[in-house]
């Protein structure tokens, strides 16, 4: 049976970009263990998106390892306008953000346009405006219908189309924009597996996207990205409404005090574990490796902490879009994850106790597998609920080998910790299905005679579904 060196529980997400979009690099990433490919729609054109999704599918088939595709849509975003030349903002300088043209206004105070007119209604005097990932900090002094007048607190170099963050300000922009709608439709036509919704502020944002997907007849899963203070205030409701959660530490780290970020990360992961939702830790995991061949010691510890917390996935962004060492980044995540998982298997936290009867049944399978050294858990699932339920209990040593007759489900399970999905036709005879699964694992050298298998399935008896847990020895 698998050892800690051959089986990695934590899944890896890699963002595609110029450094990795070729067939050759895609193949290396997939062979290297990437489970989900992320497409960042903030910068992607539709033609490129279609081409890349088809390329991912083609390369996956050639390799014989299907990966999932996540479309990360841009969401509501406030940006500065275009500047003819960059502006060097000085400490204490008075500076205007302009939301409406004002031809009568003089040029004694420097300014930049903003792409959101209602900003003047959302913001108030005393609020903080952060520009360009928080590098430039300003305080609001006054406002009228056309301008927001600020004082520069932290100086910096302001260029065109810089992102604006407004900590603690409730912005009345739609969660699912027209651009998002157009991008998502392209993704759905090409069969994406996940839609990541940016800047989710409340559960209703997720429900709006779910309704849109339902109208399109799509079974794509929703990943809610938490990136601002509103999301933290509504965290529990968001987690219950979504299919998975992404802790997007880039914008989140700008919106909240820095010392709060690790506290929020831990709380979010724990809440996801308690509810049974997959959770992704993202952004700046190996940022130094964009230009350097090895990570910093702090980055190694950061990745290790995410694995210690038992997150389902760790994610790479700039490291694999424009970085010099994309494959090495994947290898670093893989190596750290395996080592920390080995440590966890020796001293693992007790599984979360779930209240539903079904989850208690699944927990009994986990307990059995825990007590039998070298056992594997075999699950049969059509839409992934059984496998995900088992994974939510975080088995410390046994892999969860999930068999499904749906390629869509197999891809969805790429996001779920500890699950190895296999595609297989199911027989009307449950015993024939189990025999077929065992033979497939034997052919793939995943099991050998003498291995113990905890088999989780359900069957119909007297028009009722009955959960079944069996212990078998491989002959």
Which residues are marked as active site? 38, 79, 225, 283
b/e sequence 22-47, b meaning 16+ C-beta within 10 Å: eeebbebbbebbbbbbbbbbeebeee
Cα-Cα-Cα-Cα dihedral sign, residues 162, 230, 151, 105? positive
Residue 430: helix, strand or coil by DSSP? helix
Six token digits for residue 91: 């400490």
**Distance between CA 109 and CA 87 in Å, rounded?**
12
Return the bridge partners of 316, or none: 14
Of the candidates 201, 210, 214, 278, which has an alpha carbon nearest to the alpha carbon of residue 246? 278
- By residue count, the chain amounts to 475
Residue 112: helix, strand or coil by DSSP? strand
**Distance between CA 247 and CA 295 in Å, rounded?**
21
Which residues make Cβ contacts (< 8 Å) with residue 167, sequence separation at least 6?
A: 128, 130, 228, 229, 254, 255, 256
Contact by Cβ (8 Å): 343, 446: no
Secondary element (H or E) of residue 49: helix 46-63
Residue 40: helix, strand or coil by DSSP? strand
Beta strand segments in 186-320, E = 194-197, 221-226, 244-248, 279-282, 313-316
**Distance between CA 37 and CA 461 in Å, rounded?**
41
């Amino acid at each position: 049976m698998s050892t800690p060196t051959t089986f990695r529980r934590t899944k890896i997400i890699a963002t595609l970009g110029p450094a990795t979009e070729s067939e050759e690099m895609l193949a290396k990433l997939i062979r290297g263990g990437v489970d989900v490919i992320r497409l960042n729609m903030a910068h992607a054109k539709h033609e490129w998106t279609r081409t890349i999704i088809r390329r991912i599918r083609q390369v996956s088939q050639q390799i014989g390892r299907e990966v999932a595709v996540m479309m990360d849509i841009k969401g509501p975003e406030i940006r500065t306008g275009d500047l003819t030349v960059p502006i060097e903002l000085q400490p204490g300088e008075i500076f205007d953000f302009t939301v409406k043209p004002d031809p009568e206004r003089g040029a004694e105070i420097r300014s930049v346009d903003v792409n959101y007119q209602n900003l003047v209604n959302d913001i108030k005097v005393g609020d903080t405006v952060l520009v360009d990932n928080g590098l430039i900090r300003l305080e609001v002094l006054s406002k009228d219908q056309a301008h927001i007048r600020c004082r520069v607190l932290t100086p910096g170099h302001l260029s065109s189309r810089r992102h604006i963050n407004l900590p603690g300000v409730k912005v009345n922009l739609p969660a699912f924009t027209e651009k998002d709608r157009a991008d998502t439709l392209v993704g759905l036509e090409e069969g994406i597996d996940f839609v990541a919704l940016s800047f989710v502020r409340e559960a209703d944002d997720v429900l709006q996207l779910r309704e849109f997907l339902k109208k399109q007849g799509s079974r794509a899963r929703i990943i809610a990205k938490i990136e601002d203070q509103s999301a933290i205030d509504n965290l529990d409701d968001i987690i219950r409404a979504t299919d998975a959660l992404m802790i997007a530490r880039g914008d989140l780290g700008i919106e909240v005090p820095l010392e709060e970020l690790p506290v929020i990360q831990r709380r979010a992961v724990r809440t996801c574990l308690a509810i049974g939702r997959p959770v992704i830790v993202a952004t700046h995991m190996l940022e130094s490796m964009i230009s350097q061949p090895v990570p910093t010691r702090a980055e190694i510890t950061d990745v290790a902490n995410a694995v210690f917390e038992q997150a389902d996935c760790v994610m790479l962004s700039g490291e694999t879009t424009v970085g010099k060492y994309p494959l090495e980044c994947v290898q670093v995540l893989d190596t750290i994850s395996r080592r920390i998982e080995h440590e966890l298997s020796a001293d693992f936290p007790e599984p979360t106790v779930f209240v539903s009867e079904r989850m208690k049944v699944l927990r009994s399978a986990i307990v059995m597998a825990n007590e039998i050294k070298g056992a594997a858990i075999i699950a049969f699932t059509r839409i992934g609920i059984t496998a995900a339920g088992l994974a939510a209990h975080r088995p410390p040593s046994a892999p969860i080998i999930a068999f499904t007759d749906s390629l869509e489900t197999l891809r969805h399970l790429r996001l779920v910790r500890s699950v190895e999905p296999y595609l297989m036709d199911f027989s009307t005879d449950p015993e024939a299905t189990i025999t077929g699964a065992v033979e497939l694992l034997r052919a793939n050298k995943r099991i050998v005679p003498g291995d113990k298998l905890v088999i989780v399935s359900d069957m119909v008896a007297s028009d009722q579904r009955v959960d079944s847990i069996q212990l078998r020895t491989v002959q």
